[in-house]
Amino acid sequence: MTLAPSYDMGDSGFESETEAVKKEAFGVPLFINEHDLFWEDNELISLMSKEKQTRVGNIDVCSDESLVSARKKALDWVFKVKAHYGFNALTIVLVVNYFDRFILSFKFQKDKPWIGQLAVVACLSLALAAKVEETQVSLLLDLQVEEAEYVFDSKTIQRMELLVLSTLQWRMKPVTPISFFDHITRRLGLNTHLHWEFLCRCERWLLFLITDSRFMLYVPSTLAAATMLHVIKEVEPCHYLEYQKQLIRVLKTCEDKVNACSELISELLESEEKGNQGHKRKHRSILNKSVRC
């Protein structure tokens, strides 16, 4: 079963990669300043502790076809809205986090297929309310313009917001993989441009990976480590093993789990490449697009 759709982004606000995104942009080896990382160990300990409080869980979502289908439809819509309004990576990651935690905590009603759509609209509204970075925040009804199968009035959405909030126990500032990207990237020893380039690459890959339900099994630190290692393999393949050891040691993550997550990324990419062979695509997939940072 292919659980990671190749979104047809069209004129989505994702821009084609420029020369600056190429490997050559990282002309010097990445360098993790471990002294600074361990010096700020309290920050890392706090992140690791908080990620357990809001983790999605160990439920095998892939075994429930109705749940997988509802999640796919919901995320299809989320990415279309992202393309329309240009929401940044953190907003989308929050939406997916809220939605995943909600559908796993709230008994999904198969006889009410509109529940998933209503829930994701509420999650998007809550994510926008939780963030101040978004300069363009739309009305509840305006959020549903992107080919929504169902359209809900404001009062209905607000009632669902309260249900989501209570189900998630009002924990709306979860630790996400982006939290760990920030923690590590600040200490990579890169100049400002390359610092943001590395972070953007990580965020771009994360947005692709979270569309696959199988990645719900991994805690944010593990997914972050595997994602960063994938980016490092792209830009500094000769230093991959060195960084793998450093990241696992610094993030205190389980090496076996990071390796398993990395293997899943490779499997997903292999499946994506096979799916793209033998026919032309009208638009390039999200893999070949740059995310707005």
Q: What is the CATH number of domain 59-174?
A: 1.10.472.10
Biggest CA–CA distance in the chain, Å, is 56
**pLDDT tier at 240, thresholds 50, 70, 90:** confident
Pairwise CA distance, residues 162 & 123, whole Å:
10
15-54+175-276+284-293 homologous superfamily: Cyclin-like (1.10.472.10)
Q: Which helix (H) or strand (E) holds 72?
A: helix 65-85
The winner for highest mean pLDDT among 20-29, 80-89, 240-249, 284-293 is 80-89
For 68-119, what is each residue's pLDDT tens digit?
888 898 899 899 888 888 889 999 999 999 999 888 887 666 667 778 888 8
Q: What are the backbone angles phi and psi of residue 5, rounded to the nearest 5°?
A: -70, 150
In this predicted structure, the answer to whether residue 39 has a pLDDT above a threshold of 60 is no
Question: Binning pLDDT at 50, 70 and 90, where does residue 212 land?
Answer: very high
CA nearest to 226, candidates 207, 206, 242: 206
| Same-fold call for 15-54+175-276+284-293 versus 59-174 | yes
Q: What pLDDT digit, counting tens, does each position of 159-210 carry?
A: 888 989 998 888 888 999 999 998 887 776 666 677 788 899 999 999 999 9
Q: Domain-by-domain residue ranges, the chain?
A: 15-54+175-276+284-293, 59-174
Which value, to the nearest 10 degrees, does the dihedral of the CA atoms of residues 26, 179, 44, 21 take? 0
Cα angle: 167, vertex 101, 164; to 5 degrees: 35
Global pTM value: 0.79
